[in-house]
Chains A and B, each alone.
Chain A
Amino acid sequence: MSPGPHSGLSPSDGRSLRTRPLNPSSRKPEGLSGIQSPVSKHFAESVGEWVPALRPGRRRLCCFGFSPLAQGEGKQHRTAFASFQFAAGIILSLTALAVPSDAKPLPSGTTFLSDNLKAQQADEAANPGMLWVSEGAQLWEQPAGGANKSCASCHGKAEASMKGVATRYPAVNDETGKLLNLEGRINLCRTENQKAEPYAYESDELLSLTAFVARQSLGMPMNVNVTGKAAPFYEAGKAFFHQRQGQLNLSCAQCHVDNAGRRLRGDTISHALPNGYPAYRLEWQSLGSLHRRLRSCSFGVRAIQFDYGSQEYLNLELYLAKRAEGVAIETPAIRK
C-alpha cells in the first residue's frame, strides 16, 4: 500500500505534496507542539474512539461530500465546517459520556479480504501462517538455555496455559515497569527463566513462538488494560496515532479512522487492528510481526521507521490493541 514511484505526486508538477487536512480538527501548525482547540481535539477523540463504528468507512459528520484529498476547498467551507463541528463537538461530547462503554467492536481487517483469502485464512490446512504455528509448537517443547528448560517445563500444555494470554498484551511488566508485547514477554521468559539468549526480532523462532502463543487465544476478544501503569504508554500511543508524520504529513487516524472502509488505489483501508498478528502478508510471502507492518506504514507516509521493539511502536501497539477491544484474535491472519 505504500506509494511508489507512480504515486502521481512529484515536486515538479507544481502541486504541494502537503495534503489538505482530512478533518480540520486534526490540522496542526508546523511542528509537533501545535496548539489545537480543546473542543475540536476532544471532538476528534470523543467521536473517534467512542463512536467509531456508527459510521464505518465514513468521515465523521461529513455533509459536504468533498474528497479528503481534494485541493482548493474554499476557505469558507472550512470555517463553516469548523463552527458546525464546534457545536456538534459539544453535543457529541455530552452524548458520548452517556454512551455505554461496550460500543460495537471495530471490524477486523479480515472483513476487507476477498472470499478466497477469507477461506484460506479460516482453513488451518491452507493458511500458510500455520506453518509457523507448527514450528512454534515444536519450539515450545524444546529445552533451551542454561536452565535447560522448555516452555512446556513450566507452562505445560500451551492450549491450557496460554489460552487468553494474547488478548491481554501488550501489558506492563510489574517488576520492571516496562511495557511488553507478546514478543517481549517471550524474550523475558527466555532470558530470566530459561537463561537463554533472547530471540532476535523477526527471527523465525520468535515469530513462530509468538504466533503459536497467540493462536491459543483464537476467537477470543482482545481486552488490554490501559489503566494504572499502562496509562502513560496508552496516552503516548494515542498521541502517536493522531500525530501527522512523514513527508506525506499523514497521521494514522486520517486513513484508518477518517477513511476506513474507503479505497486507496486497489486496497480498502482497514481500521488498523492488530488482532491478526503475527500475520502472513502476501507481500512478504512470509509471516511477519506487527512491528514489521508498522514499519511499512511509516515507510508509506515517508516517515521515520522506528526499530523493531521500539518504545514508539510498543506504545502504538497498546493503543491499537485497545482500539481492537472486543475484536476476536485471528492469528495468523492473511493480509495483503
Chain B
Amino acid sequence: MTKSERFFEAMPTRRDILIGAGAAAGLVFAPHGVLATTEMRDEVLRKLTNGAPVKDERVTLTIPGIAENGLSVYTTVAVESPMTEADHVRAIYILSEKNPIAHLMTFHLGPRAGRAKVSTNIRLAASQQVTALVEMSDGTFWRDRKDVVVTIAACIDGG
C-alpha cells in the first residue's frame, strides 16, 4: 500500500465524521439526501437511555398500518402511569429508522399532565418501524414499536 493509500484508508468517511460530530452535538442525523438507518435509530436509543434496558410494555403506540401520505401520519402514544409526583412519565420520544433523522420529537410531560397520552401528526419518509420510547420518573425506559407502510414519502422526492 502506498503512503497516500494508507492515508486515505485511515481517514474516517464523511459519514463517520458527521455521525461523530452529530453524536457529540447530541444529534444523530444523515447527510442531506440520505436516509437514516436502523443502526442510527439504535444509536439514538442508546444515547437517550444511557444504555439502560428498555421493556416492551406499558406503552401503546397507535399509528395506521398503512399511511396514506407520509407527509402527515396521525400518531398517538398512551402510557399506563398514575402520573403522580412519585411515579409519572417524564418524556416520550418518537424515533424513526428511515427518515433523514432518527429522533423526530420529544414530549415532556410530568405529574401536571394528569394523563400520559399525546397525539400529533408525524412525517414518514419510507415504510418503516416507528418507535415510541418512554422515560419514567424513576429512570426506567419502556417502549412500543409499530410497522407502518408508507405509500407516498415525505422528505424525499421534493415532498
Contacts and interface: CB of A to CB of B under 8 A. Distances in A.
A and B touch in the complex (CB under 8 A): yes
Interface of A: 113-114, 116-117, 120, 265-266, 282-283, 285, 336
B71 interface: yes
Contacts of B64: 114, 116
Given A114-B64, A116-B64, A266-B152, A282 B71 contact: yes
Contacts of B80: none
Interface in B37-81: 64, 68-69, 71-72, 74
A283 B74 contact: no
A283 B68 contact: no
B151 interface: yes
A257 B71 CA distance: 29
21 contacts: A113-B68, A114-B68, A116-B64, A116-B74, A120-B74, A265-B151, A266-B151, A266-B152, A282-B68, A282-B69, A282-B71, A282-B72, A283-B69, A283-B71, A283-B152, A283-B159, A285-B71, A285-B72, A336-B68, A336-B69, A336-B152
Interface in B125-159: 151-152, 159
Nearest to B159: A283
A100 B2 CA distance: 90
Contacts of A283: 69, 71, 152, 159
A266 B69 CA distance: 10
A266 B71 contact: no
Interface residues of B, number: 9
A113 B69 CA distance: 11
Contacts of B152: 266, 283, 336
A276 B64 CA distance: 24
Contacts of B68: 113-114, 117, 266, 282, 336
A114 B69 CA distance: 11
Contacts of A116: 64, 74
A120 B64 CA distance: 14
A325 to B, nearest CB: 28
A114 B63 CA distance: 12
Given A265-B151, A266-B152, A336-B69, 20 more contacts: A113-B68, A114-B64, A114-B68, A116-B64, A116-B74, A117-B68, A117-B74, A266-B68, A266-B151, A282-B68, A282-B71, A282-B72, A283-B69, A283-B71, A283-B152, A283-B159, A285-B71, A285-B72, A336-B68, A336-B152
**Nearest 9 A/B pairs, CB to CB:** A282-B69, A266-B151, A116-B74, A282-B72, A282-B71, A336-B68, A336-B69, A116-B64, A285-B71
B17 to A, nearest CB: 33
B23 to A, nearest CB: 31
A266 B72 CA distance: 16
B40 to A, nearest CB: 26
Nearest to A265: B151
A117 B158 CA distance: 23
Nearest to A115: B64
A127 to B, nearest CB: 12
Nearest to A282: B69
Contacts of A114: 64, 68
B92 to A, nearest CB: 19
Contacts of A117: 68, 74
A162 B101 CA distance: 46
B64 to A, nearest CB: 6
A119 to B, nearest CB: 8
Interface in B68-104: 68-69, 71-72, 74
A116 to B, nearest CB: 5
A204 B37 CA distance: 38
Nearest to B63: A116
A266 B152 CA distance: 9
Contacts of A265: 151
A126 B64 CA distance: 17
A266 B151 CA distance: 7
A283 B157 CA distance: 12
A134 B137 CA distance: 39
Which residue among A113, A116, A120, A266 has the maximum number of chain B CB atoms within 10 Å of its CB? A116
Nearest to B69: A282
